Chains A and B, each alone.
Chain A
């Protein structure tokens, strides 16, 4: 298909002479003042507020330390009347915690009722959880469970979408970056919003600690 490549590039015609000038022009085209005025407080506080907003409609709470996370999970399971069995994302920080009273497994099933995960961070502007796929963060943990309970460190909240992008610009990219903003939903039948289309029907975020 090299013919196709050269023909398409030839049809475009213009050969870009100066990559430096193009890069400089692209740099000038970054969003700044025209962003919606949302992040007008500490990033972690705005983040939790966005998570709970009607548009995102996740539930969220804050605990003091990572050691308090399993208790938050226990409270959630009890409140939702769920069996204390769950898929635990194979992250060492999660595996190091005391999960007594809950049966955990590393493999995620197609119809997994509950999965517990650890996000890389969050984005305050949109209330999004950020996951980078890796051996300790398989992608399907975010998509197969019906209930997804996610820990996120308050120190890892980026104010704006661009702040997240800039933090990893020029770095090696993970296979998948997933920005997760609320539970799965669909409006495909008569525009009516229904949660739990194919991904999780419930998303619960647990903020760990304070920003500083």
Chain B
């Protein structure tokens, strides 16, 4: 999706944006602090994470079994189950249901799968009024931006920017002096929209195989206000979202919520099961679930089964040194950060997304915080290898690596080259830091480089070895 051709220029623009880094740091910093506190209070986390991994692996191992069981149980609850091979097919199913019902307006609770398959665009192209009800999605809908984080899609906006947007678009914006006032304004703005919509669309955090229920988690309560009043509720869900039972969903919820926000549980954890029952006073007349493949069976068969464990908590984004510098938009894809850099080459094609697996320092933080122990650095290295084999690296990268390889295999030559650098670099340093140096503009444009000290690694090694 919306993958602009030039990753480097998007990164350059992000690094040059003076407010972006502040905005990213405000939200991800809080998320890291809260997650760390939640984990400190949960010494059993390593065992819980191993269990989460095993539950997901068990489901992926028996995916056909659980899909068929889910379909049978959902059907028994009165749910209409649809299957879609591709994102386009899924969007078409959703649009057809809306058309058949004569729908004019649609409310939507945040769903990353919906973003992935381009559902917002498909709804608008079909002439439906689309109302995003998650506060962050509401903000980016007004701004015309794509999401920049999978948990906080409007993380790139500062409070000042949000106030400006609401003043321009809300009926009754009020003073806008505080974040509280902004939230209250959005509440007023969306209230009637919830009640007036013909169709409500949500995603799924989990699909419970043995009941046929769809589990969603939110903190705002917008999901339930999206799915309860309209005549029709449509869920779009990836086929990897299954868990065997409600009890298994609970084990996954402990991991998901603590990893995402540091809370013990979201304010609203809801299991949706079929349409309105006889005598019920509210709830939809029709309940549809669209089970979407869109590359997941390919992941299963092409060495990325471990990535199907992902529960979209966003912890890997919050802890990624690259994401924290460049933000979500620079990735040019629905899913940013480490998990996105693994997913996007599969979803958009490796040639198109080849830069993403390279935009990683392989420091392993993402794998450390992942609640289902996905070996993200290993999967990213796998994409790099494929990219190399398929010859996607530009000639200058291949040439530079060949030169480095030649030198690295000759220790004396390597040390000689290192010594040249050691002599030259301090000439550009002021107070131990280099802020400008020929050939290093790519680094020094956005940060200083420490001046080298203490001799080459080999020299230091020899010195210590002699002691």
Query: Which residues of A pack against B, CB within 8 Å?
Result: 1, 4-5, 7-9, 11-16, 19, 22-23, 25-26, 29-31, 33-37, 55-56, 90, 110-111, 125-126, 128, 133-135, 138-140, 142-144, 160-162, 164-166, 168-169, 173-192, 194, 196-200
Contact = CB atoms under 8 A, between A and B. Distances in A.
Contacts of A164: 250
A191 B26 contact: yes
Nearest to B162: A189
Interface of B: 23, 26-31, 41-42, 44-45, 47-48, 50-51, 54-55, 58, 61-65, 67-68, 77, 82-85, 89, 93, 133-136, 139, 152, 154-155, 157-159, 162, 179-180, 182-184, 186-187, 190-192, 194-195, 210-213, 219-222, 224-225, 228-229, 239, 244-251, 253-254, 261, 263-277, 279-283, 291, 293, 297-298, 300-301
Nearest to B69: A19
B136 A188 contact: yes
Which of A182, A188, A194 has the largest number of chain B CB atoms within 10 A?
A: A188
A33 B280 contact: no
A60 B157 CA distance: 36
Contact of B282 (A36, A126, A139, A198): A139
Contacts of A138: 280-282
A1 B84 contact: yes
A19 B65 CA distance: 8
B220 A165 contact: no
Contact of A176 (B27, B139, B272): B272
A182 B251 CA distance: 20
Contacts of B253: 161
Given A31-B51, A175-B274, A22 B65 contact: yes
Given A30-B251, A176-B270, A198 B44 contact: no
A5 B89 CA distance: 12
Given A187-B152, A188-B136, 14 more contacts: A9-B64, A22-B62, A30-B251, A36-B264, A110-B191, A110-B195, A111-B191, A125-B264, A175-B272, A188-B134, A197-B219, A197-B220, A198-B133, A199-B268
Given A9-B67, A139-B282, A194 B267 contact: no
Given A134-B280, A188-B134, A197 B270 contact: no
22 contacts: A5-B83, A11-B293, A11-B298, A13-B64, A14-B64, A29-B248, A36-B44, A90-B281, A134-B280, A135-B280, A138-B282, A169-B247, A175-B273, A175-B274, A182-B267, A184-B220, A187-B261, A188-B139, A188-B152, A189-B179, A197-B186, A198-B187
Contacts of A190: 23, 26-27, 158-159, 179
Contacts of A11: 293, 297-298, 300-301
Q: Main SS of the interface on chain A?
A: loop
A119 to B, nearest CB: 14
A165 B135 CA distance: 30
A191 B62 contact: no
A33 B65 contact: no
Given A8-B293, A30-B251, A34-B47, A140 B229 contact: yes
Contacts of A34: 44-45, 47-48, 50-51
B135 A186 contact: yes
A162 B147 CA distance: 34
A194 B62 CA distance: 42
Nearest to A182: B267
Contacts of A110: 191-192, 194-195
Contacts of B250: 31, 160-162, 164-165
Contact of B183 (A8, A22, A194): A194
A125 B50 CA distance: 21
A44 to B, nearest CB: 18
A15 B66 CA distance: 11
Contacts of B26: 190-191
Nearest to A58: B267
Nearest to A168: B246
A117 B343 CA distance: 44
A98 B124 CA distance: 51
B273 A173 contact: yes
A139 B226 CA distance: 12
B283 to A, nearest CB: 5
Nearest to B188: A111
Contacts of A26: 58, 244-245, 248
Contacts of B64: 9, 12-16
Contacts of B195: 110
A176 B187 CA distance: 23
